[in-house]
Structure 1
């Protein structure tokens, strides 16, 4: 920044040198200063606008990801309810058939649990070697190094085999510390046996007794369930292939429940509305960033990204994907579900048309595919967004260009500040020199005047 000009009254001329210099400096630099300030303000606003746009896009993409979650599927055409959630939980997918099923849980599938012999404590030494854990005919190996302890072996098992569902822990049953093995795998034949290191050998055929190693409880068994009177066995308590389009999660033995499958109208509507809301929130943000309005004085006020080509390109890409018609099936476009584009670019969701598509045209089972299949709406939206949002994409490049402009404007301001300082110093020196000269002339004039006054006084005498 330029140093402030200190006002000073010339002793010789009586002029306000500081004020005069400031006026002259301002006249020379004001136009350039105004230009830099205006461009800096516009550039700063655009940087902020790009950041807001990127944030809105990220929020929209996160919403799409939530709707396309494979572990918690959205757009399900059918909903399953269990009359007794303590006995069984039920979910339906798009291949389900409306109806009801009588479910009785006879037995739950169990997993294997075996324990080592008793040790003095978690710090008990364990021999070096390869620990072999066998389950379902597959052998899992864990290397045990020198100076190992019961605790370090436990940690090695969990870090190595945790991904396979096999874990271990140390439990003191009052007789001493045991290394207890467990598994998330259930069903008959999934029992664990351990070998390879002498003091950790465990047979699943022998029940644990006294201080010896052995099986904890009974051998693993399959689940047994009756569905409409028919007996079904399963290695897992989650049955996802027994009844077409229906997943049953068994929870308690000796319990019964009626599972009902029906059209998921409200669930579908909620998911579609979530998509519409997410898209509209993005469009509203873009509209606010590119808007044109009038202030109180009637002057035109532009948004930070008004006329920005990157933003226009983004909107065009997204809108074009909404209009794509998919092939195959009876449901090929969003408009069939009552989703249409309004004048401001947002989406309108017609509830009446949506319900007609589900109830009259029976399109419910096709909604999920429309949105989530490989070439569905969500995949196409993500494909349109990626060039803008990805690292090094359009928005990053736009932001880099704006930051370069900002640095250039800062350098221009620094150069202008230097000119202001230099011009102020130069003009001040010149006016001070002029003031000194004027002071000298005034002093000489005063001396001459005094001389003549003295001569006149002498003549009168």
Structure 2
């Protein structure tokens, strides 16, 4: 700010006078700043709504539309030799199993002396065939001239060979000798590790001490990998791994079963788990409509506008907080986007869902609307026992009530064949899109949404108004300066006349 020295001759407090004059001139600027603040508050209120809608949207998608959340099973095994968990089973199972042989990995052990010496860089080339594969995979391992034997072991482990290498004192039957061993990471028959060229073959034999077949270039295994062998419901089967999935149940073979012993695996519907998913959905929905209803019915206090800087300075922090709470209130009152969204959500929930030609609604599963009008459409699980019974008896039907998708191939799907959660997801997505058009997101460019464009316009008007006010303030100071100059001349003339009159009388 430029320092102005005025009022020396007039004795006027020019700064104070100009400030009072400018206070009146600043009223349009104050209104623009208040308009800007109101737009920012409204933008933030919209975005807060979108955050809550996103939370409900995530619940709808993650909990209610994913089939794994409806296929929850509790699986039990009669013996620790076999364990099982449900991953995608739709039906409950009762399985009998016995394990004759566990799947094991292929192992290799150096039988000759380890004569590794540093000083030569080279690229080792391998051909690796995993159990069940028909074609080998080429893997290259680059050895530097400065690498030690431990460096080579480390590089083999991180190379993608599909095996674990180690160097330890290992028994050779009579003694514990310095040995290098390879173990395939995958179990089962058919794992082979072969040298890809003569240099690699020589390195494996002469420097690491492995036996290599001269015809196939394959390392000679210390122990060949084996497949798991077991009986499944009376059917003899084999697998390359001790972990496998049959009909949505993942089985793990832990040990061979005793002779003539059978392990029984049962699965039952995880009624409580599915019930809790539905309850969480109901709770999130109730929270959302409560908050949206609160915004569209919030009281509007028209006498409480955003505070100017001068008003804020004259108040305590508590007074400012209380004032702004009322000034922010009602910004989204009767907002059409939110009100229309609420109406569509209610239709989504209360309309029937057609499943296999029969119509169902939430009330058929023990979920109804609150009898209390003040709850404004809140959902209530009125009959938990009924809902749990439906889940236990027919979890697939309960799932379809929420996540069924219309089989129509047309772009517009039949809403009657859409599950409740799927319809709600579409409505929430539409609400988010409409709100984003109004208020954008944190990462949005201001010109991409309506309030942002309005803010740009207001900020331009504020900049122009500040320039105009600076010019007005400068003119006021110039006028007072001119007044002061005129008074200076007048005082000078007065002093001259007084001195002349004094001289004539003497």
Q: 1:271 to 1:345 in 2, by over 3 A?
A: same
Q: Distance in 2 between matches of 1:179 and 1:303?
A: 74
Q: If the length of structure 2 is used for normalisation, what is the TM-score? A: 0.68
Contact kept? 1:13, 1:438, Cα under 8 Å: yes
Does residue 487 of structure 2 align to residue 418 of structure 1?
no
Q: Distance in 2 between matches of 1:116 and 1:370?
A: 62
Q: Distance in 1 between matches of 2:338 and 2:330?
A: 12
Q: Distance in 2 between matches of 1:334 and 1:121?
A: 76
Give the stretch that moved more between structures: 411-420 or 435-444: 435-444
Q: Distance in 2 between matches of 1:14 and 1:139?
A: 103
Contact kept? 2:122, 2:143, Cα under 8 Å: yes
Structure 1 position 139, deviation (Å) = 0.8
Q: If the length of structure 1 is used for normalisation, what is the TM-score? A: 0.73
Q: 1:454 to 1:62 in 2, by over 3 A?
A: same
What is the aligned partner in structure 2 of residue 161 from structure 1?
none
Does residue 20 of structure 2 align to residue 17 of structure 1?
no
Equivalent positions of 1:142-161 (< 5 A) are 142=138, 144=140, 154=156, 157-158=159-160
Report SS of the residue matched to 2:355.
Answer: coil
Q: 1:222 aligns with which of 214, 223, 228?
A: 228
Q: Distance in 2 between matches of 1:121 and 1:287?
A: 78
Q: 2:452 aligns with which of 380, 396, 403?
A: 403
**Structure 2: 5+ residue runs without aligned partners?**
170-176, 202-207, 212-218, 302-321, 407-418
Structure 1 position 18, deviation (Å) = 1.8
Does residue 359 of structure 2 align to residue 355 of structure 1?
no
Equivalent positions of 1:305-344 (< 5 A) are 305-312=332-339, 314-329=341-356, 332-341=360-369
Report SS of the residue matched to 2:71.
Answer: coil
Q: 1:179 to 1:262 in 2, by over 3 A?
A: closer
Contact kept? 2:29, 2:466, Cα under 8 Å: no
**Structure 1: 5+ residue runs without aligned partners?**
159-165, 202-208
Q: Distance in 2 between matches of 1:250 and 1:60?
A: 41
What is the aligned partner in structure 2 of residue 441 from structure 1?
490
Report SS of the residue matched to 2:70.
Answer: coil
Structure 1 position 74, deviation (Å) = 0.9
Q: Distance in 1 between matches of 2:427 and 2:335?
A: 18
Q: CA RMSD in A?
A: 4.5
Contact kept? 2:300, 2:333, Cα under 8 Å: no
Q: 1:294 to 1:306 in 2, by over 3 A?
A: closer
What is the aligned partner in structure 1 of residue 35 from structure 2?
39
Could you report, residue by residue, the CA deviation over 1:188-220 in whole angstroms, capped at 9, with x for unpaired residues? x4433535334667xxxxxxx974233353432
Q: 1:144 to 1:106 in 2, by over 3 A?
A: closer
Structure 1 position 77, deviation (Å) = 6.5
Could you report, residue by residue, the CA deviation over 1:76-130 in whole angstroms, capped at 9, with x for unpaired residues? 36533345567413438664347x6665544433444556886738997655667
Q: Distance in 2 between matches of 1:67 and 1:46?
A: 32
Contact kept? 1:88, 1:250, Cα under 8 Å: yes
Contact kept? 2:81, 2:257, Cα under 8 Å: no
Q: 1:115 to 1:123 in 2, by over 3 A?
A: farther
- Alignment length (residue pairs): 431
